[in-house]
Amino acid sequence: MSVRTPDPNSGWLGDDELAAIRLRLPLLYVEAVPVRVDGLGLVTEVGVLLRSKPSGEMTRTIVSGRVLYGETVRDALFRHLEKDLGPMAFPLLPASPVPFHVAEYFPFPGLSPFTDDRQHAVSLAYVVPVTGTCEPRQDALEVTWLTPEEAVSDGVAFEMEGGRGTLLRMAMAAMGRV
């Protein structure tokens, strides 16, 4: 039996380390709006995740997560899509790493439409077509497929956390669906 030394560059942080860093530095995230497209590349459906917060409150959101130290944006995007939608989602990652929007999340309201009471974060947001079967994993309870018109409705925006309803509307605008 061999004893392994932990990888000092693993990119993972313990809960205490992450909490301390969140108080001092903005963190980089990627977010993805999963969509289904037709043969012409027009968005026909938009995937929205249902999650339960620690308080028991149910909220809607999109695929989201941190970029780890030493990880490319593309790898982070793929990792979070697979984590939230399952390994059979078959996402078609964009050829260009240019996001449709850069969202700034603040722990207090007023500086931007996006809030995250845990931290200051900067998020690169993408629209990503998926072609496979989505089976949510981890903390996502289900994926709800909406029409683009339903996705930009006030009702859906109200259910989404941290201003992500606004981000969803921006995504549909970037795809010419609003």
Residue 6 lies in a domain: no
Provide the pLDDT for residue 3.
Answer: 46
Report yes or no on 121 lying in a domain. Answer: yes
How many Cα atoms sit within 13 Å of 117 on the Cβ side? 2
Answer whether residue 38 is part of any domain. yes
**Cα(169)–Cα(149) distance, integer angstroms:** 10
Question: Residue 102 corresponds to which amino acid?
Answer: V
Residue in 152, 158, 155 with CA at minimum distance from that of residue 172: 152
**What's the whole-number average pLDDT of the chain?**
90
Q: Quick check: is 97 in a domain?
A: yes
CATH label of the domain that carries residue 32: 3.90.79.10
Q: Does residue 11 form part of some domain?
A: no
Residue 9 in any domain: the answer is: no
Q: Is residue 87 part of a domain?
A: yes
Instruction: Please compute, for residue 100, the number of CA atoms within 13 A of its CA located in the half-sphere on the CB side.
Output: 19
Per-residue confidence (pLDDT) for residue 63, from 0 to 100: 96
How many domains is the chain partitioned into structurally?
A: 1
What is the span of the domain harbouring residue 87?
A: 25-174
| 133, two tokens | 């079967």
Q: What tens-digit pLDDT sequence spans the chain (178 residues)?
A: 444 444 445 566 788 887 787 777 889 999 999 999 999 999 999 999 999 888 888 999 999 999 999 999 999 999 999 999 999 999 999 888 899 999 999 999 999 999 999 999 999 999 999 999 999 887 788 999 999 999 999 999 999 999 999 999 999 999 998 7
Q: Is 15 inside any structural domain?
A: no
Q: Is 143 exposed, middle or buried (0-12, 13-18, 19+ CB in 10 A)?
A: buried
